[in-house]
Structure 1
Amino acid sequence: MKITWSPLAIDRASEIAEYISLDNPTAASKWIDDIFEKVLILNSMPKMGRTVPEINRKEIRGIIFGNYRIIYRIEEMSIAILTIRHTKQILPVDELIA
């Protein structure tokens, strides 16, 4: 399956890495590498994430990565990474209907 990142998901990953880099640039770089590795697992196991309770649609799922949720949508021949949110943040539903 092809994995695509929405502009919002890319922005969120960049913002998080930028914040981490304020204290530790090496950790920020590792965080980016690790999140991309985590997402690559979806190629072989696209349904590994649980259904997102805020929207309850079987094609929209989320996986936990540290303190963050990676929200994605399973499409016919691809996986779309929709957004990344801290687990304590409210997840706006409009970010899921991309």
Structure 2
Amino acid sequence: MDDYQVILSPKAVGDLEAIVRYIASSNPEAARKLGQRLLEKTKELSQFPLKGQKVPEFDDPNIRQLILKPYRVVYRVEEEKKRISIARFWHSAQDNLEL
């Protein structure tokens, strides 16, 4: 089986930058580690695209999430393109997930 290509949407990149910047203001080392852990989570999807669970807000089996508490890595499986599109890095305290 060919690995899926994992790409980050512009929104996901912005989310990740905002998360790291926020934490870095009080703990730069923790921010760096968290950023790395979130990105490592996304890499697992290249071989296991359906690893995550369906996102409750969306009735779509191709929109899935991985949980790295308190964050959700929300992604879309694009079967025909063999691609995983990381849509958002979402803090569980935030309301109204938007893709």
Instruction: Give the TM-score taking structure 2 as reference length.
Output: 0.89
Q: Deviations over 1:9-42 (max 9, x none)?
A: 0000000000110111111111111111111111
Instruction: Find the counterpart in structure 1 of residue 24 from structure 2.
Output: 21
Q: Deviations over 1:27-70 (max 9, x none)?
A: 11111111111111111111111111111100000110120001
Q: Which runs of 5+ in 1 are unaligned?
A: none
Tell me the matched-pair count.
94
| RMSD (CA atoms) | 1.0
- Alignment partner of 2:93: what SS? coil
Instruction: Find the counterpart in structure 1 of residue 33 from structure 2.
Output: 30
1:47 matched to 2:50? The reply is yes
Instruction: Give the TM-score taking structure 1 as reference length.
Output: 0.90
| Identity across the alignment (%) | 36
- Alignment partner of 1:43: what SS? coil
User: Which stretches of structure 1, 4 residues or more, deviate above 4 A after TM superposition?
Assistant: none
The structural deviation recorded for 1:90 is: 1.8
1:86 paired residue among 78, 91, 94: 91
1:68 matched to 2:71? The reply is yes
Q: Which runs of 5+ in 2 are unaligned?
A: none
The structural deviation recorded for 1:91 is: 3.1
